[in-house]
Structure 1
Amino acid sequence: MNNKSTGNMPRTNQTNWATVTTLTDADIIHDADSPSTTEADWQQAFTSHSAAELHTESVRRTRGVNKQPRKEQVAVRYDADILAYFRSTGKGWQTRMNNALKEWLKEHTA
């Protein structure tokens, strides 16, 4: 391995595999590097999503082939304040932006 601070160092495996292979689950659980947790350790724990929300979100994002594509993906540049406004409206901001452009077209086409 080439390291600026130590120069070239040979790769060596320093794991004592003979000891590792003889460890039982009890030995691993009580290892000082992975202490057991208690119920109190988890009292202040939180997640950003519940398991149900994660499952629903993953199912919602799964799509099949779009058989009748109605939209086309393109790269477009908008002013930062325009994007900030639509993004601040929450989920579905791109659809709302699309609808605003449709309204503009209705008003400005003959």
Structure 2
Amino acid sequence: MKGRTDWARVDALTDEEIVAAVESDPDAELITDEDWEQAVWVKAKHPVSIRLDADIIAFFKSQGRGYQTRINNALRIFMDKAKAQKKS
């Protein structure tokens, strides 16, 4: 999928211009040391074939690009909760 980014303009930006652009972006969230401390290493993903209900796929796809990652995240939350309950 070809994007509309002007990579020549991006390549020409200085480090200072990039920092200023990020700092002025109200949607930008800089990663803090605390964020890195909470980071979890996730193993490599493996392709699988899985059958899901059509409405589940439609819901995740309706959220935009990255629906497979969102499905993976939902399954991870379920798995983590199930593991926590088993330990209790």
TM-score class normalised by the smaller sequence: 0.3 to 0.5
TM-score computed with the length of structure 1 as normaliser:
0.38
TM-score computed with the length of structure 2 as normaliser:
0.47
Identify, as 1 or 2, the structure richer in helix.
Answer: 2
Structure number with bigger Rg: 1
